[in-house]
Amino acid sequence: MKLIRFGEAGKEKPGLEIGNGVRIDVSDFGEDYNESFFGSDGVTRLQNWLDKHGETCKIVNPNVRLGTPFVRPSKIVCVGLNYAQHAAEAGMEVPKEPVLFFKSTTALIGPNDDVIIPKGSSKTDWEVELAIVIGKKASYVEEADAFDHIAGYVLHNDISERAFQIERSGQWCKGKGCDTFAPMGPFMVTKDEIQNPNNLNLWLKVNGEMMQNSSTSDFIFNVQQVVSYISQFMTLLPGDIISTGTPFGVGLGLNPPVYLKQGDVMELGIEGLGISRQHVKAYGA
């Protein structure tokens, strides 16, 4: 299934995208896509409900805004430098174990919402990433059992302010958690629809020019490794997000570097996870 949430920001309703891009309203199911939903086998229960009531669901106008395909999670855990070529372009060593940082949940926006360059920013950058949605509480999980704790996957643009992230003292989170810095969607794809998350094409364009075009087969640490690894240090709750890192081709790595500016348009996608598109606006514009 492809889970969506649609409507005005802060008032989204749960829905599904079905064949040929048609979207339906499943509000009558009575639950939103939150921790309780994912933690109580909500995907299976929704499918069973849909088998009985699907024909009565209303069609969603294709022009209606999409929000994030899940309610704000307890946390967004990110893996840095998880592609060797990206580590090289960033001028950093390939890590011996996953580099972790948090991204603020207040950075979340819908897949096609505007990205706002923060106040005082000079180096706002793009990063296409595969994100994992946790489906079952995970603590000290073995790699062999990692997929049992995954609900599905979602497209993520891990927007980053490089001066805040690298040039200011402290942790990376200052350059990662600004408002609008986490567009996710258009939908969350349940894990049964993705045969191998460790072999998916992912790409990103800026103003129509291809900047990133790679595959998750270039992961340093694959999906099951990062789920297991993170669970050794913290409990992952249903609905939590793990963003798995970006491939080469970010603005920081160009010579000279190129960063986002007012009027730019980013378009990105991952095989099987759809496409999103964000316009860039300056703070206060």
CA distance 100 to 142: 18
* Count of beta carbons in the 10 Å neighbourhood of residue 124: 26
Each residue's pLDDT tens digit, 125-154: 999 999 999 999 999 999 999 999 999 999
The pair of structure tokens assigned to 101 is 């940082």
Are 202 and 271 spatial neighbours (Cβ–Cβ below 8 Å)? yes
Supply the pLDDT for residue 85.
79
Which segments of the chain does DSSP mark as H helices, in order? 35-39, 42-53, 84-89, 162, 223-231
The pair of structure tokens assigned to 23 is 């979207």
Are 116 and 179 spatial neighbours (Cβ–Cβ below 8 Å)? yes
CA distance 152 to 191: 4
Each residue's pLDDT tens digit, 61-81: 999 999 999 999 999 999 998
Helix, coil or strand: residue 33: coil
Are 57 and 29 spatial neighbours (Cβ–Cβ below 8 Å)? no
CA distance 228 to 110: 28
Are 268 and 155 spatial neighbours (Cβ–Cβ below 8 Å)? yes
Supply the pLDDT for residue 251.
96
Tell me the helices (H) and strands (E) count for the chain, helix number first.
5, 18
Supply the pLDDT for residue 280.
98
CA distance 149 to 63: 34
In the chain, the DSSP E strands lie at: 2-6, 13-17, 23-25, 76-80, 99-103, 108-109, 115-117, 124-125, 128-134, 150-157, 160-161, 182-183, 188-190, 201-206, 209-215, 241-243, 265-270, 274-282
- Mean pLDDT of each 10-residue bin along the chain, 285 residues long: 98 95 97 98 97 96 97 97 82 88 98 97 98 98 98 98 90 93 98 97 98 96 98 98 96 96 98 98 91
Supply the pLDDT for residue 285.
79
